[in-house]
Amino acid sequence: MIITGGHPYQGYSTGILKLDERCYPMTSGDVGNATSYPFPVLIREVKGLLNNPSPPITTPDGAYTEYVQLCINEAIQLEKDGVRCIAMCCGFLSLIQQVTAAHVNIPVMASPLMMIPIVHQMIRPEQSIVVVTASARLLTNEFFTAVGADLNDRINLVGLDDSKSFNSMCMGGKTLSFEYNDLREDIINLIENAQKKNPNIGAILLECSSLPPFANDVREATGLPVFDFIACVKWMHNAVVPEKYSGYI
């Protein structure tokens, strides 16, 4: 049996691209925490990417905007470095899902918003999905349509815009710590309020890459199935590194 190398980094199935200068605490379950995965991941900052790209993603002359091009360049480099698939560390990067995937030859998953069409098919046709985001004000329909979803189609969008705990470290906040229990309460309260307004909610999608640590708490509080970014990455990993079965009948 011949074993072939050729890449500077080996043993990584998945590359994770994250925004630059993000040093807030990323607990296990956060997309940016390497211990969130049962397999090795190669996490890399996109130098100069200080925020997610916003619409439009091209300039008047047709070129990609600076932030979009930075993501494309780093995705290309990750592929050269040997990863088999790429995820991104902010759900708002759904906006560049298609353009990033077009520049590499490995699977890309920029945002859990990609799961919405699939989740819609899992639940009853009259049921909707609660999408929990960092900012409902900023997550406009462009971020949904970029991945084949529609904000106006069976989606209840709730955001952590008013969460003191979340915004102390994210969305411009600079603190290096946060109160975990306070943020958990903020997330659950948002979802429970959405349930009161719309009893026909069938599933929850945690869009923000910092929210998967709270998925189990949300499930226990609501009784609903919860989808998040880590589940997306694991799904993609299983496609590029299928499990070898060794059972018996």
- What's 65's domain CATH number? 3.40.50.1860
- pLDDT of 171 reads 65
Number of separate domains in the chain: 2
Pairwise pLDDT comparison (249 vs 85), residue with the higher score: 85
Judge whether 53 lies within some domain.
Answer: yes
Assess whether 218 and 119 both reside in one domain: yes
Residues 86 and 17 sit within 8 Å (Cβ to Cβ): yes
Judge whether 37 lies within some domain.
Answer: yes
The whole-model pTM stands at 0.91
- pLDDT of 101 reads 96
Assess whether 49 and 143 both reside in one domain: no
- pLDDT of 89 reads 86
Assess whether 221 and 152 both reside in one domain: yes
- pLDDT of 164 reads 87
Assess whether 122 and 164 both reside in one domain: yes
> CB neighbours of 229 closer than 8 A, spacing ≥ 6?
31, 87, 91, 111, 112, 206, 207, 208, 209, 211, 212
Residues 239 and 84 sit within 8 Å (Cβ to Cβ): no
Judge whether 22 lies within some domain.
Answer: yes
For 39-89, write each residue's pLDDT tens digit. Answer: 999 999 999 888 888 899 899 998 999 999 999 999 999 999 999 999 998
Assess whether 19 and 122 both reside in one domain: no
Q: Which domain holds residue 177?
A: 112-228
Residues 115, 137: Cα–Cα separation, whole Å = 21
Looking from the CA of 131 toward its CB, the CA atoms found within 13 Å total: 32
Q: What is the CATH number of the domain that holds 188?
A: 3.40.50.300
Indicate if the alpha-carbon torsion angle 88, 92, 96, 101 is positive or negative: positive
Judge whether 248 lies within some domain.
Answer: no
Judge whether 124 lies within some domain.
Answer: yes
Residues 148, 113: Cα–Cα separation, whole Å = 9
- pLDDT of 172 reads 66
Judge whether 249 lies within some domain.
Answer: no
Residue 236 in this model has a pLDDT that exceeds 70? yes
Indicate if the alpha-carbon torsion angle 63, 66, 67, 69 is positive or negative: positive
What size, in residues, is the chain? 249
What is the pLDDT confidence band of residue 170, given thresholds at 50, 70 and 90?
A: confident
Residues 178, 238: Cα–Cα separation, whole Å = 33
Residue 23 in this model has a pLDDT that exceeds 90? no
Kindly compute the dihedral angle of the four CA atoms of residues 146, 30, 108, 2, in this order, to the nearest 10 degrees: 180
- pLDDT of 5 reads 77
- pLDDT of 229 reads 94
Angle between helices 215-222 and 180-197 (to 10 degrees): 40
Assess whether 136 and 216 both reside in one domain: yes
For 92-150, write each residue's pLDDT tens digit. Answer: 889 999 999 999 999 999 999 999 999 999 999 999 999 999 999 999 999 999 999 99
Assess whether 210 and 118 both reside in one domain: yes
Judge whether 5 lies within some domain.
Answer: no
For 177-190, write each residue's pLDDT tens digit. Answer: 778 899 999 999 99
Assess whether 139 and 99 both reside in one domain: no
Distances (CA, A) of 200 to 123, 144, 153, 224: 10, 21, 13, 11
Assess whether 102 and 184 both reside in one domain: no
Assess whether 82 and 144 both reside in one domain: no
Residue 212 in this model has a pLDDT that exceeds 80? yes
